[in-house]
């Protein structure tokens, strides 16, 4: 078993490296705010959910993967106004940002993996952490925080600097109103924004 676990852990580390994510240990499960902040900082992308404005789909939920960067706990985005999610947000700015440890942000991602150990892990297991940050999506073009956010986005996502200039790109953020986390058995924890923002990495 030790051998098997070591091999699986080694593969997990390579997987994390290959995915271009930060490799680090997750905080202890009782440190909820720390775990939430760690997930936002370690993830390269998440799913933005909006209320759809598509013809025939109005009012339905719509989840769309987007890249992220973290500055001080705030999730920032470099997005195109042509994107469906941005069209939705123009009508209703309420969003959620969903992150899963199954995206491979840590060694502990083995808990999310169906082959580890003996099939005990799963993306739906409560010990495979999942985080839902809810709030309103805000275009921060021309604000004081735009330069810092852009720097963090372009550092984390080198491809962005080469994206075509004719797609109405802008920098946005989520103004957080709710933080929902499952990282262990027993149901979700709601994390106070002040506790979350107080975390120093």
Chain residues that interact with its own copies, rule: CB under 8 A: 8, 11-12, 14-15, 17-20, 44-45, 47-52, 54, 56-57, 59-67, 78, 82, 84, 94-98, 100, 102-104, 109, 113-116, 118-125, 128, 130, 132, 134, 156-160, 162, 178, 180, 187-188
Task: Pick the closer one to its own copies by CB: 31 or 180.
Answer: 180
Sorted by sequence, the CB contacts under 8 Å of residue 125 that are 6+ apart come out as 111, 112
Give the nearest distance from C-beta 43 to its own copies in angstroms: 9
Task: State in angstroms the smallest separation of the CB of 61 from its own copies.
Answer: 4
Instruction: With beta carbons less than 8 A apart as the criterion, state whether 93 and 79 touch.
Output: no
Q: How far is Cα of residue 132 from the mean position of the Cα atoms in its chain?
A: 8
In angstroms, what is the minimal distance from the CB of 15 to its own copies? 4
CB of residue 93 to its own copies, shortest distance in Å = 10
Nearer to its own copies by C-beta: 59 or 142? Answer: 59
Report whether 81 contacts 116 (CB < 8 A). Answer: no
- Kindly tell me which of 2 and 190 has the beta carbon lying closer to its own copies: 190
Question: Residue 17 or residue 90: which is nearer to its own copies going by CB?
Answer: 17
What's the CA gap between 8 and 110, in Å, rounded? 8
**Smallest separation (angstroms) from its own copies to the CB of 29:** 17
Give the C-alpha distances (Å, rounded to integers) separating 6 from 16, 26, 107, 174, 197: 15, 18, 11, 39, 35
Q: And the tokens for 32? A: 């909820």
Given a contact cutoff of 8 angstroms between Cβ atoms, the answer to whether 23 and 107 are in contact is yes
Pick 34 or 49: Cβ nearer its own copies = 49
Place of tokens 């999730």: 75
């Amino acid at each position: 078993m030790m051998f098997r676990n070591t091999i699986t852990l080694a593969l997990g580390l390579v997987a994390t490296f290959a995915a271009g994510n930060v490799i680090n240990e997750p905080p202890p499960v009782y440190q909820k705010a720390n775990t939430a902040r760690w997930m936002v900082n370690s993830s390269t992308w998440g799913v933005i959910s909006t209320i759809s404005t598509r013809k025939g789909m109005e009012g339905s939920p719509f989840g769309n993967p987007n890249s992220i960067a973290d500055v001080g706990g705030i999730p920032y985005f470099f997005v195109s106004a042509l994107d469906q999610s941005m069209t939705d947000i123009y009508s209703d700015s309420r969003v959620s940002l969903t992150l899963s440890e199954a995206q491979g942000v840590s060694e502990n991602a083995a808990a999310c993996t169906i082959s580890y150990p003996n099939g005990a892990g799963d993306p739906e297991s409560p010990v495979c952490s999942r985080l839902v940050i809810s709030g309103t999506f805000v275009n921060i073009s021309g604000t004081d925080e735009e330069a810092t956010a852009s720097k963090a986005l372009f550092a984390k996502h080198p491809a962005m600097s080469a994206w075509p200039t004719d797609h109405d790109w802008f920098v946005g953020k989520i103004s957080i109103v709710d933080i929902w986390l499952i990282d262990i058995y027993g149901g979700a924890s709601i994390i106070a924004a002040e506790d979350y923002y107080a975390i120093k990495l």
